[in-house]
Structure 1
Amino acid sequence: MRLQLYILWSFLSICSLRSAFAQSRVWFDHPATQWEEALPIGNGHLGAMIYGGVSNEEIQFNEETLWTDGPRNYNKKGASKYLQKIRELLDQGRQKEAESLAMQEFMGVKSESEDPTAWLNKIDKIRKQEHGPFEFAFDDSKWPLITVPHYEGWEIEGLEGLDGAVWFRYEFNLSKNDLAEHWSLDLNKIRTNDYTYINGELVGQSAGDETRRHYQIPMGLLREGRNSIAIQVINLEGKGGVAGYKDPKQAIGLKSNTGKFVSLKGKWKYHIQDQNSPKIGSYQASYQPFGSLKLQFDHDVAENYSRILDLDKGEVRVNYAFNGVNYRRTYFASHPNNFIAVRLQADQKNKVTFRLAMNTKHQRAKLHHMDGTSIRLEVWVKNGAMRGTAFLQLKLKGGAVSYEGDELVVQQADEAQIYLIAATNFKSYRELNEQYAATALERFKNLCTLDLDKLYQVHQKDYQRLYHRFSIDLGAGNQLDTIPTDRRLQRATGHADPGLVALYMQFARYLQIAASREDSQPMNLQGIWNPFLEPSWGSKYTTNINLEMNYWPTEALNLSELQQPLFQMIQDLRLAGGQTAKEYYAARGWVLHHNTDIWRGTAPINNSNHGIWPTGGAWLVRHLWEHYQYTQDLHFLQQYYPIIKDATLFFKDFLVKDETTGWWVSSPSNSPENGGLVKGPTMDHQIIRSLFAIFDQSSKLLSKDVQLRDSIMEMRDQIAPNQIGQHGQLQEWLTDLDDPENKHRHVSHLWGLFPGDEINTTHTPQLVEAAKRSLVLRGDEGTGWSLAWKINFWARLKDAQHAYHMVKMLLRPAGKGGGSYPNLFDAHPPFQIDGNFGGASGITEMLLQSHINGIELLPALPEEMSTGKVKGLRARGAFQVNMEWKDNQLLEVTVESLAGEELHLRYASREVKIKTKKGKSYAFDQELKLKK
């Protein structure tokens, strides 16, 4: 019987392996050692990262609505009183004064804060006592160790959720000759305040994340032999610790006047003095991790190990052998039943033995034993209104289960099945649901009565319904699937790998299906995957490109309905942004600045030099219009027309006349995160012209608002136009201020090239050349999402080889610049998911463009992608395209008309126009001649 089971197991494994070769997969021959090597699963509501450890497995999971803070008002009442003065200061060229006034009177309202004075006074006392932790001879022998510096905060070194005061100590040695030199201490950045001591003497004290710590060390203070440095770091919010330099190769340390350097990079002693700091308000909320499942096995060395994300099946599998037994783990996240499943199997009976624990990083949490096989975890988000509950059920085939402390212990089972759900008290951006836990418990009980095999089949049908709509094969390179993905990524830096490009597109589609479903929240900066209580940029929705980039490829890659969460957010933002428009601009309609969160904050945040950017809502409107363009769904346009109209009304009220030129300009605003507060950034005018054109076309299609339409189009013609500057570049601002040495990651003034369309090779050749000049001056390097945006730019410019060069840069191993992590997650760095989607969008633009004059096939096809075929690609006008090409020449194309619109098809110098019927397909040869 055992032999029969083994043969069956081997057969299934071989079949599965062949299936993996035939389909796309991301895979490794070793467990993950860091989060960026783990493999993601998700269903829009729940997301998890699978490490695949042999002896110790971790499944880190999130629930999409677990955020900090709670429903509140983000708007500063009466801010509009200061609008005119800010505009006047900008008109007079007094930018810093305008920014100062705006910072004081025009920013959003933070969440509740407590007065930190008493707490800080208490913290200060330790620095005044004798024999404190700053002393040279202080006994720190019982203090634990931590790696210093830590640029992304002490959170990445295990001090999650810590706000407060922490002491750090380190020892270094100097020679007698060293003492004759003058020394300075370079710590670069500290988060947030520090008191720094050398050998017991205070040598420096500074405040603020951005302040460089470069302290002079008095002569005579240093000693021959052993010396000590002690730093008290006080951090009340956000990331904490000794940050040092972003480039890990640049160490902190002591520098002498003759060029000697003593590195202080290493393991320091640390002591948490007080982590009960007062509550400090924030402009917007942060997305939170929920918890982890920890599984411990008695397996130490594995043979034939593989960890596979099977994109065709929407699951992760871990396979290995130990002591002659073949083990398999399968993980998937079901959208229809909203749960995460883990199945643990062996090819021999009684071999599934492990311990299971459930934990969380949240300081306030409770773990309950519900019965002999179920666990409940409750979490409370620090200083916020949010609560969450996770339920876990363990089912066994054979074997036994018992509790040891908080752990479930499984002995000698044939198979184990884990069901995991999670829910929070979030109801909407305006209210909470205090009955959520009872509802979640009832759903959990019902789920646990269902058979896992049937649940798996439902998951497969649901997932593949979306995934199988599209396929791509780029020919040579498919055999490279036998190389683990991390090594394949390394290899691609020196060798063409078109198969990896195809894999990257399908991986992006997988991430969308896993993170954005019709009834979920839209994808934030990290989709739904985030391991940190203090995530970078709050893991929010940054709307000056990043949120929009998340949804750039959705329509073209045949996942149209996955934009629904974004559309629901836009509906919410129209309501929230209406209050902001009134309070800040005394305007009609609605406005959104450069960030929002789950509570739909729309007011300016962070800093006036980049936070006052009013065109986020107008950009989001373009996603509504693009959906109509791809679907020709007039009912959809009718439903969302009020949002389009209200966004238009805001800018009708907001735009002001520039006295010098007579143009309508946007003021105050910002060219995202570059150049400070200004009037008239080019990007704004491109977006507003696009919005006004969308309103014009929408109102005509729906036969609405004729008089308003006429006034809007008259105004549109007088908006400040695109201008070509002294370097031949497209100007980023109203005046010619562009610095040819500026290598900023944002290239915002090229919005009109992509995702906009007013700059194009057909109608605006001079502007195309100016845009190209801007790209050349800005340079190819950038963060991950910036590299992705540039792929789209170069594709629109029809420069195939430069576009492919940018693809290679995006698909390089992550370093200090942008690229990809081993699991193909985009590296800003750190991880930001937008680059995954922006990259997929750019590759799509290389294969098909439909923004000007119908559908153009293979407009930017590089030599490295000279052979291939694609099925299920969508185009504007509601068309679906299948095509094949070889040796850089189109072989054939089939176009299905989904709405019966006229088809205008172009390839090279050939083109054809035909009338179509809804639901009918039309096949063409390489000459674009219609096949009979």
Structure 2
Amino acid sequence: MHLKTWLCNSLLLSAFSPFSSAFAQRQPQSLWYQQPAAAWTDALPLGNGRLGAMVFGGINEEHLQLNEETLWSGRPRNYARPGAVQYLQPIRQLLADGKQAEAETMAEKYFMGTKDPDDSSYKIQKDTWFAAVRNQTEPAAANFNDNNWTTMQLPTPEGWERAGLMGMDGALWFRTSFTVPSKWLGKNLVLDLGRIRDMDFTYVNGKLVGADEGISKKRKYTVPASAFIEGKNTLAIQVINFFDKGGLIGLKGTTRPLIVYPEGNEADSVALNSWKYSIQNDNPPTLPRYEAEYLPFGDVYFRFAQGNNSSNYKRSLDIDSALSKISYTVDGTTYTREYFISAPHQCLVMRLSASKPGALSLQALLNTPHKKYVLKKVDDHTLALSLEVSNGVLKAVGYLYAVATGGKLTVSDTAINLQQASAATFYLVAATSFKNYKDVSGDPVAGCKLALARVKNIPYSTLKAAHVKEYRQLYNTFSFTVPTGKNAALPTDQRIKQFSMQNDASLVSLFLMYSRYLLISSSRPGTQPANLQGIWNDLMTPPWGSKYTTNINLQMNYWPAEVLNLSTCTQPLFQLMKEAAEAGSQTAKEHYGAPGWVLHHNTDLWRGTAPINAANHGIWVTGAAWLCLHSWEHFLFTQDTAFLRQQYPVMKSAAEFFEKFLVKDPKTGWLISTPSNSPEQGGLVAGPTMDHQIIRELFKNCIAAAAVLKTDAAFAETLKDIIPQIAPNKIGKHNQLQEWMEDVDDVRNQHRHISHLWGVYPGTDITWQDSAMMKAARQSLLYRGDGGTGWSLAWKVNVWARFKDGDHALTMIKNLFTPAISELGYERGGVYNNLFDAHPPFQIDGNFGGSSGIAEMLIQSHTGVIELLPALPTELPDGEVKGIRARGGFEVDITWKQGKLQQVKVLSTTGNSCRLKYGTQEIQFATKKNGSYTFNGSLKK
């Protein structure tokens, strides 16, 4: 349906809706704050699917952190391990014999994917490098001169990367001193240093007193009294990390300082906060990786000449127009900034202005955390940043172009300087050498030149208008409105801290609309899919590589796309699937001797599909099958048979793999999935429930797709024969849905990953048509509890909605809205000040999963019936949703009041027959393509 038609229909419904007067005024569609961002998770995200930026909004110094979606480590290569298949049957036999540990040992050695670089060459280089840095111990001496060293406050819970050492791997020395009073003399002292990443060698007054390795080990060294003297004592620590975060990170979940105290008397302690450090060697050999990491591009800084004595400060993100704005007043002059990233013109646009002529003076700089980079002047308006990835093959270039109204503009090889202007517009374009997952021959310089040529002569107002128009074509297809409470007018960070449904129910609708904004901003046709952090990452070693984790996280990113009327944004996911199917066919052959394709629990820009990390969780075979659910769901929502015809071969290929892979369990006779895993626990097992649910769903959907396309009748019959042979869901001794073949579930287990409930959501393997199994699944979730990390809470929202328990689903939403930073300063699951989901750290899947769960409260259509308000919470008695989608090709507007349906309007986009259900009432009616049908709360016309 065209946007114009949708808007007209929405206006008509509004005019005649009995509840529309309650929402006469459009609710604020913005996040806003009264201070600049103090942390990256306070900053506000912009994106066009390819370029991303985080806006901090500083007064004296503005900072925009930048991403380009194809800047990754690694290179094109084959991830599968040749010959791994010869170990498949021995691993299966060990599992069948109950020898899990032996199976994991064999799989670890012979069945995992390949690394880059090779392990054997790395060991030699690592040993040589390590010996060299360990031979340099001069900084351990008590009398060593560290006057020129830099100061750092410890601990650094997020690693030294957040303390100014971005991208730092290697060896560092830390030094501090403390006073030993006379009352401590003759006593052993305890050095409590918390956790250290990854290796430490700790010295007191030049003597080695402790050494250990591993992030999970708390460093608590008891040092003999003889090592100390009365008065000043020197503590020196050599910290070595080869990859990922480094440093003294303290105790998890606290901000307690590092301390020293007499043995047995921790209350009489001295804090060790202020340290000096020096980089000893920042060039360790490249650690072999199973997969690549998504990397930051760089930063734009504006340094202003005006004073810092500001007033009337406001920083905002308008999600209905995808514009970030900052305004404040200094000495009677109002300064404003406006930023957006244009999809039509593929650039970041930054407009800065002052209310008084000549009051705008600034310096603009480009920076990057990459070691290999060059800054240079291109022309009198343009500064260029070129960089190369250290542990990969990609190159990237960014151009910063400036024009000014009044004043003097000059460009050097390091900065753009502007003096006494009234306004200025900056354009940032960026490109990499990535062309596709097999080809890195792109020319980023040519890409930047072309992109800049397309925008630099277009007026700012024209660029802005084109950006807003294009963005709203996606954003305005849907709306969700509930009555505002008294806290709705507060700044967003205060709304989060003070959240309650009574005072601010509209934060729920803002959260949902924000997730739509984030999906539009991170996933557009022709781009890469939204990764673990969407498109936004500032770390050289991001959490979990900021990759595509396919045992829930990538899929969760796209849970809301269809139902919240953003089907267009799914195209990158389907392109990834096609590419991963190509790569995954090699993995299927080498590891399983099977046709088709397989994808384990992670993939990256280069479409790695092999098992990674460790055998106890990395050998999980149903990533491809789960992704195929999205292909079928896209068809169900859109009824697009041309799409289904293109995507069906990917689905069929995934099914062909499992036709070969499934084997008969010698104990039960059922066909089972082995070896595999029940994410994220239990180790390497045979027959996890989740696998069987996913495989059944894949087979059923392939059968249905073949029928729609009138093809592959024989293959469909084969799948029909296999389905009843697959191990079924089983109810265990605790009235729970079993997670494994054996009835071994621990009712005290409150693990965050509820893998065996996949069949409830997002799958349809378990529905209320089998009430006994549904109740068992519900019992399992009750045992798991209401806690969890951000994405886990989001998943539970969806499952409780499928249980039709809206109040419990809302409890999960409330838990999801917990401030991620506690009063004590440590991180927990919830949301950050910018409404980013906290695992912690930031993962965007909780934003998307939470919003899909809210949609499941309002509409469900997975059983062939469109159920209206199936899980409406008591605390959300009034509301209106427009443009929500249902399977079968329907678009629905729903209005409810005092917990009761008032009106529903159904638009049929394809002319299918429609079944509507509300409570115990159900109707079925024929429709015409583009026909519109309106009913009251009793489902009467």
Instruction: Give the structure-1-normalised TM-score.
Output: 0.95
Matched, 1:669 2:676: yes
Distance 1:147 1:493, change over 3 A: farther
Matched, 1:221 2:217: no
Q: 1:534 and 1:118 mapped to 2: Cα distance?
A: 21
Q: 2:885 and 2:829 mapped to 1: Cα distance?
A: 29
Q: 1:55 and 1:424 mapped to 2: Cα distance?
A: 31
Matched, 1:23 2:34: no
What is the letter of the counterpart of residue 40 of structure 1?
P
Alignment of 1:468-483 (within 5 A): 468-477=476-485, 480-483=487-490
Q: 1:20 and 1:225 mapped to 2: Cα distance?
A: 69
**Structure 2 counterpart of 1:774, from 770, 773, 780:** 780
Alignment of 1:351-366 (within 5 A): 351-366=359-374
The corresponding residue for 2:831 is 820
**Structure 1 counterpart of 2:852, from 841, 847, 853:** 841
The corresponding residue for 2:44 is 39
**Structure 1 counterpart of 2:694, from 681, 687, 698:** 687
Q: 1:362 and 1:263 mapped to 2: Cα distance?
A: 38
Matched, 1:607 2:618: no
Higher mean displacement: 775-784 or 579-588: 775-784
Higher mean displacement: 839-848 or 722-731: 722-731
CA contact (8 A) 1:782 1:817 kept: no
The corresponding residue for 1:64 is 69
Report the alpha carbon displacement of residue 30 of structure 1 after superposing the two structures with TM: 1.0
Q: 1:126 and 1:719 mapped to 2: Cα distance?
A: 56
The corresponding residue for 2:466 is 458
Q: 1:41 and 1:642 mapped to 2: Cα distance?
A: 36
Report the alpha carbon displacement of residue 426 of structure 1 after superposing the two structures with TM: 0.2
**Structure 2 counterpart of 1:207, from 205, 213, 218:** 213
Matched, 1:725 2:736: no
Deviations 1:219-273 (A, max 9, x none): 4323443333222122222222223332124554446552415365522211111
Alignment of 1:587-736 (within 5 A): 587-736=594-743
Q: 1:749 and 1:172 mapped to 2: Cα distance?
A: 53
Report the alpha carbon displacement of residue 312 of structure 1 after superposing the two structures with TM: 1.3
The corresponding residue for 1:192 is 198
Matched, 1:144 2:168: no
Q: 1:674 and 1:26 mapped to 2: Cα distance?
A: 37
Matched, 1:790 2:796: yes
What is the letter of the counterpart of residue 286 of structure 2?
K
Deviations 1:110-152 (A, max 9, x none): 11255454665465456556x7212233332321122322333
The corresponding residue for 1:561 is 568
Distance 1:565 1:807, change over 3 A: same
Deviations 1:544-597 (A, max 9, x none): 000000000000110101000000000001100000000000000000000000
**Structure 1 counterpart of 2:765, from 753, 758, 766:** 758
State the aligned residue count: 910
CA contact (8 A) 2:864 2:887 kept: no
The corresponding residue for 2:12 is none
Q: 2:235 and 2:472 mapped to 1: Cα distance?
A: 58
Report the alpha carbon displacement of residue 199 of structure 1 after superposing the two structures with TM: 2.9
**Structure 1 counterpart of 2:117, from 89, 92, 112:** 112
Matched, 1:133 2:139: yes
Report the alpha carbon displacement of residue 414 of structure 1 after superposing the two structures with TM: 2.1
Report the alpha carbon displacement of residue 442 of structure 1 after superposing the two structures with TM: 2.6
Report the alpha carbon displacement of residue 349 of structure 1 after superposing the two structures with TM: 2.0
**Structure 2 counterpart of 1:324, from 320, 325, 332:** 332
Q: 2:194 and 2:372 mapped to 1: Cα distance?
A: 34
Q: Percent identity?
A: 46
Deviations 1:32-72 (A, max 9, x none): 11111111111001000111111110011110000011111
The corresponding residue for 2:16 is none
What is the letter of the counterpart of residue 872 of structure 2?
L
Q: 2:912 and 2:351 mapped to 1: Cα distance?
A: 48
The corresponding residue for 1:12 is none
Q: 2:633 and 2:755 mapped to 1: Cα distance?
A: 20
Report the alpha carbon displacement of residue 437 of structure 1 after superposing the two structures with TM: 1.9
Alignment of 1:241-640 (within 5 A): 241-254=247-260, 257-260=263-266, 262=269, 264=271, 266-299=273-306, 300-403=308-411, 406-477=414-485, 480-492=487-499, 496-640=503-647
Distance 1:404 1:695, change over 3 A: closer
Distance 1:345 1:22, change over 3 A: farther
Deviations 1:703-725 (A, max 9, x none): 22222222212211111111112
- SS, match of residue 560 in structure 2: coil
The corresponding residue for 1:851 is 862
Higher mean displacement: 235-244 or 390-399: 235-244
The corresponding residue for 2:9 is none
Q: Which runs of 5+ in 1 are unaligned?
A: 1-17
Report the alpha carbon displacement of residue 203 of structure 1 after superposing the two structures with TM: 2.4
Report the alpha carbon displacement of residue 495 of structure 1 after superposing the two structures with TM: 5.1
Q: 2:324 and 2:429 mapped to 1: Cα distance?
A: 18
Distance 1:117 1:855, change over 3 A: same
- SS, match of residue 561 in structure 2: coil
Distance 1:223 1:714, change over 3 A: farther
Matched, 1:869 2:880: yes
CA contact (8 A) 1:146 1:157 kept: yes
The corresponding residue for 1:49 is 54
Report the alpha carbon displacement of residue 173 of structure 1 after superposing the two structures with TM: 3.4
Instruction: Give the structure-2-normalised TM-score.
Output: 0.94
Distance 1:566 1:140, change over 3 A: same
Report the alpha carbon displacement of residue 807 of structure 1 after superposing the two structures with TM: 0.6
Deviations 1:474-531 (A, max 9, x none): 1132x53421000011010585421100000000000011111011100001111001
CA contact (8 A) 2:347 2:451 kept: no
Q: 1:434 and 1:914 mapped to 2: Cα distance?
A: 54
CA contact (8 A) 1:145 1:270 kept: yes
Q: 1:250 and 1:335 mapped to 2: Cα distance?
A: 46
- SS, match of residue 554 in structure 1: helix
Report the alpha carbon displacement of residue 758 of structure 1 after superposing the two structures with TM: 1.9
What is the letter of the counterpart of residue 851 of structure 1?
H
CA contact (8 A) 1:127 1:134 kept: no
**Structure 1 counterpart of 2:164, from 158, 181, 185:** 158
Report the alpha carbon displacement of residue 183 of structure 1 after superposing the two structures with TM: 4.2
Distance 1:218 1:551, change over 3 A: same
What is the letter of the counterpart of residue 657 of structure 1?
K
Q: 2:387 and 2:412 mapped to 1: Cα distance?
A: 22
- SS, match of residue 279 in structure 2: strand
CA contact (8 A) 1:254 1:263 kept: yes
Report the alpha carbon displacement of residue 454 of structure 1 after superposing the two structures with TM: 1.3
Q: Which runs of 5+ in 2 are unaligned?
A: 1-22, 822-826
CA contact (8 A) 2:222 2:263 kept: no
The corresponding residue for 1:79 is 84
- SS, match of residue 428 in structure 2: strand
Distance 1:259 1:735, change over 3 A: farther
Report the alpha carbon displacement of residue 303 of structure 1 after superposing the two structures with TM: 1.5
Q: 1:488 and 1:805 mapped to 2: Cα distance?
A: 17
